[in-house]
Structure 1
Amino acid sequence: MTGWRVGEISALALAVALFGADAVAQESLPDIDIGAPIAAATPAAAARAEDAQKAKVRVEAASETVFSGQQVNAVPFARPGEALEIVPGLSVTQHSGEGKANQYFLRGFQLDHGTDFSLTLDGMPINMRTHGHGQGYADANFLIPELLSSVVGRKGPYYADKGDFSSAGAVDMQYIDKLDHGFFRATGGSFAYGRLLGAKSFEVNGGNLLTAIESSIYNGPWTRPDEMRKINSVLRWSRGTQEDGVSITAMAYANRWFSTDQIPSRAVYGGVLPLWGNVDSTDGGDASRFSLSARWSQTEGAHSSRVEAYAIRSTLDLYNNFTYFLSHPDLGDQFRQFDRRTVLGVNAQHAYKYELAGLPIESRIGLESRYDNIRLGLQDSWRRQPYDTITNSHVAEGSVGLWTDTTVRFTPWLRATGGVRFDYFAASVGSLQDPLSAPKDENGAPIWTGPWNSGSKSATMGSPKVGVVIGPFEQTELFLNFGEGLHSTDVRGTVTRLSPADGSSVATIPLLVKQRGAEIGVRTTRLLEGLESSVALWWLNNDSENQFEGDSGSTSFGRPSRRYGIEIINHYTPASWLRMEGSVSLSHARFRGVDQQQALAWIDLLSPDAIGYGTYVGNAPGNYIPDSPNIVAMGQIEVGEATGPFAALRYRYLGERPLTEDGSFKSPATGTLNLRAGYRFDNGWSIQADAFNVTNSRSDMITYGYGSLIPSDPLYGLCKAGVAPSNVCSVGVMGRHFKPMEPPAVRVSITGPLPF
């Protein structure tokens, strides 16, 4: 800490020497006003939009964006998670039903269900550590987008207040505290979609009581309907403001569904499966989430404080079958993943503004602490009936993060921020097994691995951060950022010494992984009246890459990686009734080093008895990162005032992606166009129609490349009869597996005031 202090004083002295005392004492550079007034999506949104537009936000990186909840709801989206696509460069999709966490793409990452992508709501983390399905699992299906007051999108490991999972990006969401007018919304549409939402505020004990309840159903176009049934509610009492007030919030969410997972393209093109079909009609799951949270904040003079505390109880059962009949030719490869957890946590921070040597300074210090008590595991199942328990663990995992940063305004056009973060993680794993449910070897004996896969692990990591903002030109600022970050790994992997599936020896992995990134960018409003533009060049290195495994739905500890790219963002508001947005994010993602394990497996597939089956294609070692997008682009137009007709158009493009390390298989590019048209009456009523995929794109919602087996494959019979080599049968038929884009659909919503 002494070094930081000496550096701070030296920087101040240098600024005085270069610019003089008069220069550094000038008035601070005005904060940038993000967003402009647009037509409100509901009467309630109109009221809160005015407050959101008054807020000034100090942007610390060219890629940082801030949106009001009214802006989020101004464009059509088909599911709650897609509302987050308002963050430039972010693509959100789904491959396994309407209750499973979304798939996220950002900055050359296929983030699986949330790894390296931090999501928070009202200070509560949505990402789940050491999860039954995948590390960082972030289920946003409980969001009620109409209640959002703000969405802040930040990218890169440059922020001292952001820790685990945030190096690729972080989205912090905030719900409103009060509705000036209650409203209800009823929506119905194609493929048996239905939704009811009601929300209203009441004055209770000198504060505001916000109530909201939502219910949704959906079948989808699938041969086996999703039969999604969701109920969701929010209850919040608050007093004061976000900066100086208190609140207590309770949330409850439950969902159950069936899912049509990705299917092999060879089966569709060969006429074995319809485009909307499935291999296992019993795939699906159920989820629940209950939370209680509180916030206290105070601003007094130069001091401001904020404390957030939360308790979360969540459950999840997932039934998936991605490889069909590869491992179990008779029963199929369905597996059950379960997760039961209680999460307790607190976030606290204090900021202080002062002067030193005539320079305005703001220092912040913060604490983040979190504890997860988890019961989770993996079981083989048949038609949702588990039989072999591969893993069954009790995990206790806790962390403490301490951070601080200081921002110095050297001149009205130059400010710098330096910060550091220290994280401590500790966890224990108890692997539970019994002879009856344990997996069996070929002789019927239990594979006894539990005692060797129990233990404890701890780790610490420090992460420095630095940023500089230079704005000597009118309405233009240059941003320079560098930082180190981290992501935690599934703690079970840090103590596992024997494979739970077959008892073979495996290597343990570190608990924390270092990440480093930098960004240089410019933001300006000088080019055209009403236009705000930004360009950012970025780079990010990972000491280890988490890879998606199509045969198990989990992640594995991979090689180091490097990504770099450019991001261009434009917001244009030429008139109060017209708003346009466009963004393009280009990225280049590659592994570093050599995958020796994959090289040995590929050589084995090139042996004389195996090469004729062709399974070596797609299994060669390479440096492509599977499913990493090279381009994500978005464009949208919104028209309308607070009353009268309104409309919106939104286009999203997700570029092609390599599906295997050697690049033999690639996904098609995906482009979708959504439309909205409606009318708002001055008495608070409105009607709107949303149309999705209006161009009838036949591309993929999501795509993977791996090996699988279905009974119609010639290799299936050869493997079942023991004719084909075992190394070939363990891979199956390599190919593209996809979930198709949903066909054109229309949903009509009627919104009105609640009179009581």
Structure 2
Amino acid sequence: MLPSVLIHSMRDGDLGLADSASAGSVSRQQLEARTVYRPGELLEAAPGVLVTQHSGEGKANQFFLRGFNLDHGTDLRTAIDDMPVNQRSHAHGQGWSDLNFLIPELAARLDYKKGPYSAREGDFASAGSASITYANRLARGIASVAAGHDGYRRAMTAASPEAFGGNLLYALELLHKDGPFTRPEDYRKANAVLRYSRGYANNGFSIAAMAYRGRWNASDQVPQRAVDAGTIGRFDTIDPSDAGEAQRYSVSGTWRRTASDSASKVNAFVIRNRTDLYSNFTYFLNDPVNGDQFAQPDRRVTSGLNATHSWHLHGDARATDITAGIQLQNDNIFNGLYNTRERKRLSVTREDHIVESSAAMFIEAGTRWNAMLRTVAGVRTDHYRFDVSSDRSDNSGTARARLASPSLSVALTPAANTELYFNMGAGFHSNDARGTTAAVDRSPGLVKSRGIEAGLRTEPVKGLQTSLAVYRLAFDSELAYLGDAGATEAGLPSVRHGVELSNYYKPVKWLSLDLDLAYAHARSRGAAAGEDFISGAVEGVGQLGVTVDRRGAWSGSANLRYAGPRPLLEDNSVRSGGSSTLNARIGYRINSRVRLELEGFNLLDRRDAAISYFYASRLNGESEARDDVHFHPLEPRNFRVAAIVQW
């Protein structure tokens, strides 16, 4: 389901600061105005990003951006408080990005970039990156209780009292949701944050601990033929024993120091993730007796360090900021793939112990040459080591990879209310470690991307901010997920061209309007004639939003979002339909401390698909496999009501 309001950072503050037309920041106030069906949809505050789901609510979301079907996070780098969310060499796919531990009320800022134009960004950031920063302090304590259709229940409280010479922020969230499915998802989530901070954003430190646990019954995609025949309904499931569980525990610390001519920042973290997934996408295709359910357990401890130091050099005619940084990360991973029946193990496909280590260094120089011209030039180098110990000795081994990625951004200010941008750079994504040491068809460890972009940001009339970006992004190879192997493989090279238009208009203090449009043309390179379409590449995206902010005691918003059709096969012979959704929110403030909110999702009750795939499957009783569309439905019209108290 889709969020009910689209508000982003097209505002005066981006002029003179942003390095491209497709980069920006979203403030805490703007994030608070959003209505989200699931936590990951907070990323849709970045124009052009689509977030959906094809399984149980606890599973990592499905992401789309710039003509990419990003699966569960590939080529979209996500981070919270400088901790990476993407999980490398995950059992269910490269770049697995599970944002269900996110508590929206704690989000102080969302920074987003698109394209490989920054030396600061690394793995998975070629299509884009989104970084959420939690608040160290809350202006007021908050407690919220919400209920809605389909067994939705949520309770959350957070505050940041002064303690031990600083601030002690705490938050606790409990959630339950069944969804509209015949077999309830029974998603149960417990989520907690504890953070101590002292000082200020530019001079101080913080130490934080986070804990999350979720369990759910999977509501995977269903075959169109069974729905059309009336054998099952849109919200039924084929294998009712599909399920999942996820846990995430982390400890992190951040230290900052800022002087008149320099700034330093150090961030360190340790994250323990655990995922258990039971899925059955093909039903009885491979095993007519026991069915095709498989388990994908993943256990890992991720540790890392990020450090930067900046020098501010000021002359009579120009000013330059030079930033150097290092990024270290180590993943100690145990994962596997097993054939199961009703979550009971039948056989082992593979088991692996992976140690994946990386070290990156970058330097970036931003110079304001005069009142009209700014440039940012940078380069980063990445070094990876993949060590795989497999249950099959011929798949075990060690591999190494390294890559240099230069970038350049130019901003020209021909008028006080307009900036022109030109960006170019190289990026990359890492491949699954198991592919780098495979006995056959080995994959390179790192795959280069190359991007170029031109754009503008302007305020043609007072209160209206507009940005336009035209881009090209090429990859040396695409990533494709292999369900039966529990890994991803490197596919054909690809190239994408696209254009994005974003508008934010605030004619009066209490009213804002949004219109965002994006189109992408995605093709494989080296494919046979007529077979160069990229499966799942969304071609067109649009959002129209209206927000009323505190019109007396009332506030509200409405958003119409459209996701266009996309090819489901490389020859474009099968395509998914587009989808559109209207959502809305209305709030009433009883007094300075208490307000009520009513949220409505899919108000037009559209029977669209959240996501569609085309592949072969066999249902119980069918004599042979059949190629078919398999889809996960949008949830029908539903409502949630919440009471929020602040102190």
**Bin for the TM-score computed over the shorter chain:** over 0.9
Residue 186 (structure 1) aligns with: 145
Structure 1 residue 204, shift from structure 2 partner = 1.0
1:490 to 428, 432, 435: 432
Give the Cα–Cα distance (whole angstroms) in 2 for the partners of residues 686 and 397 of structure 1: 48
Residue 589 (structure 2) aligns with: 680
Residue 520 (structure 1) aligns with: 454
Deviations 1:384-404 (A, max 9, x none): 011211111100011001001
Q: Does the Cα contact within 8 Å between 2:75 and 2:127 map onto a contact in 1?
A: yes
Deviations 1:342-400 (A, max 9, x none): 00001111111113574211111111100000000110100001121111110001100
Structure 1 residue 740, shift from structure 2 partner = 1.0
Deviations 1:284-311 (A, max 9, x none): 1100000000000011111011111000
Distance 1:642-1:121 versus aligned 2 partners, 3 A rule: farther
State the SS of the aligned residue for 2:42: helix
2:638 is the counterpart of 1:748 = no
Give the Cα–Cα distance (whole angstroms) in 2 for the partners of residues 54 and 204 of structure 1: 34
Return the TM-score normalized by structure 2.
Answer: 0.97
Residue 5 (structure 2) aligns with: none
2:608 to 674, 687, 699: 699
Return the TM-score normalized by structure 1.
Answer: 0.83
2:507 is the counterpart of 1:574 = yes
Residue 346 (structure 1) aligns with: 305
Structure 1 residue 571, shift from structure 2 partner = 1.1
Q: Does the Cα contact within 8 Å between 1:585 and 1:631 map onto a contact in 2?
A: yes
Residue 4 (structure 2) aligns with: none
2:285 is the counterpart of 1:335 = no
Residue 409 (structure 2) aligns with: 467
Give the Cα–Cα distance (whole angstroms) in 2 for the partners of residues 474 and 201 of structure 1: 40
Output the amino acid matched with 1:644. Answer: A
Give the Cα–Cα distance (whole angstroms) in 2 for the partners of residues 129 and 571 of structure 1: 36
Structure 1 residue 552, shift from structure 2 partner = 6.2
Deviations 1:19-57 (A, max 9, x none): xxxxxxxxxxxxxx9466xxxxxxxxxxxxxxxx99998
State the SS of the aligned residue for 2:576: coil
Structure 1 residue 183, shift from structure 2 partner = 1.2
Structure 1 residue 472, shift from structure 2 partner = 1.7
Match runs of 1:219-368 below 5 Å = 219-355=178-314, 358-368=317-327
Structure 1: where are the runs of 5+ without partners? 1-32, 37-52, 433-449, 498-505, 596-619, 717-731
Give the Cα–Cα distance (whole angstroms) in 2 for the partners of residues 358 and 276 of structure 1: 65
Output the amino acid matched with 1:698. Answer: R
RMSD: 1.7
Give the Cα–Cα distance (whole angstroms) in 2 for the partners of residues 331 and 293 of structure 1: 44
Match runs of 1:395-406 below 5 Å = 395-406=354-365
Give the Cα–Cα distance (whole angstroms) in 2 for the partners of residues 369 and 573 of structure 1: 43
Q: Does the Cα contact within 8 Å between 1:120 and 1:173 map onto a contact in 2?
A: yes
Residue 644 (structure 1) aligns with: 553
Residue 628 (structure 1) aligns with: 537
Q: Does the Cα contact within 8 Å between 2:89 and 2:487 map onto a contact in 1?
A: no
Q: Does the Cα contact within 8 Å between 1:323 and 1:550 map onto a contact in 2?
A: no
Q: What is the total number of aligned residue pairs between the two structures? A: 640
Output the amino acid matched with 2:461. Answer: L
Give the Cα–Cα distance (whole angstroms) in 1 for the partners of residues 416 and 137 of structure 2: 38
Give the Cα–Cα distance (whole angstroms) in 2 for the partners of residues 367 and 513 of structure 1: 21
State the SS of the aligned residue for 1:411: coil
Structure 1 residue 239, shift from structure 2 partner = 1.0
Q: Does the Cα contact within 8 Å between 1:643 and 1:682 map onto a contact in 2?
A: no
Identity %: 41
State the SS of the aligned residue for 1:743: coil
Residue 165 (structure 1) aligns with: 124
Give the Cα–Cα distance (whole angstroms) in 2 for the partners of residues 186 and 553 of structure 1: 39
Structure 1 residue 547, shift from structure 2 partner = 2.0
Residue 381 (structure 1) aligns with: 340
Give the Cα–Cα distance (whole angstroms) in 2 for the partners of residues 340 and 642 of structure 1: 50
State the SS of the aligned residue for 1:237: strand
Residue 656 (structure 1) aligns with: 565
State the SS of the aligned residue for 2:161: strand
Deviations 1:685-708 (A, max 9, x none): 000100000001111011001111
Residue 130 (structure 1) aligns with: 89
Higher CA-based Rg: 1
Structure 1 residue 275, shift from structure 2 partner = 1.2
Structure 2: where are the runs of 5+ without partners? 1-7
Residue 592 (structure 1) aligns with: 525
2:620 is the counterpart of 1:711 = yes
Residue 469 (structure 2) aligns with: 536
Residue 481 (structure 1) aligns with: 423
State the SS of the aligned residue for 1:81: helix
2:209 is the counterpart of 1:209 = no
State the SS of the aligned residue for 2:225: helix
Deviations 1:146-195 (A, max 9, x none): 11000011000000100000000000110011112211000000001000
Give the Cα–Cα distance (whole angstroms) in 2 for the partners of residues 549 and 538 of structure 1: 30
Distance 1:216-1:251 versus aligned 2 partners, 3 A rule: same
2:72 is the counterpart of 1:139 = no
Deviations 1:301-350 (A, max 9, x none): 11011111000001000000001110011111000001000000011111
Q: Does the Cα contact within 8 Å between 2:376 and 2:410 map onto a contact in 1?
A: yes
Output the amino acid matched with 1:190. Answer: H
Q: Does the Cα contact within 8 Å between 1:34 and 1:57 map onto a contact in 2?
A: no
Residue 75 (structure 1) aligns with: 34
Distance 1:648-1:398 versus aligned 2 partners, 3 A rule: same
Give the Cα–Cα distance (whole angstroms) in 1 for the partners of residues 139 and 364 of structure 2: 37
Residue 389 (structure 2) aligns with: 430
Output the amino acid matched with 1:741. Answer: L
Distance 1:199-1:400 versus aligned 2 partners, 3 A rule: same
Deviations 1:519-553 (A, max 9, x none): 0000001x111111000000000000012446667
Residue 80 (structure 2) aligns with: 121
Output the amino acid matched with 2:572. Answer: G
Give the Cα–Cα distance (whole angstroms) in 2 for the partners of residues 399 and 103 of structure 1: 26
Give the Cα–Cα distance (whole angstroms) in 1 for the partners of residues 381 and 556 of structure 2: 48
2:155 to 196, 200, 205: 196
Distance 1:457-1:552 versus aligned 2 partners, 3 A rule: closer
State the SS of the aligned residue for 1:471: strand
Structure 1 residue 711, shift from structure 2 partner = 2.3
Give the Cα–Cα distance (whole angstroms) in 2 for the partners of residues 172 and 495 of structure 1: 32
Give the Cα–Cα distance (whole angstroms) in 2 for the partners of residues 547 and 636 of structure 1: 34
Structure 1 residue 594, shift from structure 2 partner = 2.5
Match runs of 1:33-44 below 5 Å = 34=9
Structure 1 residue 681, shift from structure 2 partner = 3.2
Residue 20 (structure 1) aligns with: none
Q: Does the Cα contact within 8 Å between 1:576 and 1:641 map onto a contact in 2?
A: no
Q: Does the Cα contact within 8 Å between 1:406 and 1:419 map onto a contact in 2?
A: yes
Give the Cα–Cα distance (whole angstroms) in 1 for the partners of residues 468 and 197 of structure 2: 39
State the SS of the aligned residue for 1:641: strand
Residue 398 (structure 2) aligns with: 456
More strand by share: 2
Structure 1 residue 207, shift from structure 2 partner = 0.2
Residue 57 (structure 2) aligns with: 98
Structure 1 residue 206, shift from structure 2 partner = 0.6
Give the Cα–Cα distance (whole angstroms) in 2 for the partners of residues 632 and 368 of structure 1: 34
